[in-house]
Amino acid sequence: MSEAEETKVEESQPEGSPENGAVEEESKEEKTEEKADSEANEKEEKVEADEKTDGEKEAAKCPEPDKKLFKEQFILFSKFGDKTSDGKCIKLSQSDKWFKQAKVIDGKKVSTTDTGIAFRKISKNSPKLSFVEWNKYLDEIANNKKMDVNKIKTDLVNCGKPGFSGATSVVKSSAVDRLTDTSRYGGTHKQRFDSAGKGKGKAGREEVSKKDGYVTGFKQA
């Protein structure tokens, strides 16, 4: 069959023939797949851009704390509870105490299980870490928990000296006022306070003898 005859046969096929319908379906499927791929790529690019933006914001919010203050805190906590420590290395228990005081260990995002695993990984079963090694340990915690290491360091610097827990607030309530009102006390409890509500001490608890008599010159044995 010549080319002219083949062309005439193709032109003679109706538009709604099965062959033309199959070609159209294939074309639609290809367009649908291309659209889906394009949308998926756009979503991935948006997520990456958002993550990058969040990371930049976080980095901007949390600059690195003062290195001198941070090292001083390390020395204080590495000596805390250990009279033999020279402040050059820190134990896991001391580090956890520091983390708890700084609220880094909160029982939710970071726990003592997390710190124990990271500590053993860096220390390789050694009971203590040097300052350099301990900084690697902080990086390990930050990476595992998707946290900013500078934010952790800042909290550790700002938590105060070992054992500092802030000022104790006094609770004010009607119940406390009622229970501490000495004018309402009765019996022997009332005798323990003077008219101003101040405690008398031992004189309010015990009957103290004055060691004098009823007549001149009498002395109690």
Q: What is the pLDDT of residues 14-37, one digit of tens each?
A: 555 555 555 566 666 666 777 777
Task: Examine the pLDDT at 55 and tell me if it is beyond 70.
Answer: no
Alpha-carbon distance of 221 to 214, in angstroms, equals 14
**Per-residue pLDDT, 38:** 73
Alpha-carbon distance of 52 to 37, in angstroms, equals 23
Q: What ranges do the domains of the chain cover? A: 67-158
Alpha-carbon distance of 134 to 98, in angstroms, equals 13
| In the block, residue with structure tokens 């958002």 | 50
Percentages of the chain per state (helix, strand, coil), in multiples of 5:
60, 5, 35
Q: What is the pLDDT of residues 82-111, one digit of tens each?
A: 999 999 999 999 999 999 999 999 988 999
**Per-residue pLDDT, 107:** 84
- 67-158 maps to which CATH number? 1.10.238.10
Whether residue 130 contacts residue 88, with contact meaning beta carbons closer than 8 Å, is answered with yes
**Per-residue pLDDT, 9:** 47
Q: What is the pLDDT of residues 117-176, one digit of tens each?
A: 999 999 998 999 999 999 999 999 999 999 999 999 999 999 999 987 655 445 556 666
DSSP H helices in 62-101: 67-79, 92-101
Residue 40: pLDDT band by 50, 70, 90 thresholds? Answer: confident
Answer whether 0.85 is exceeded by the pTM: no
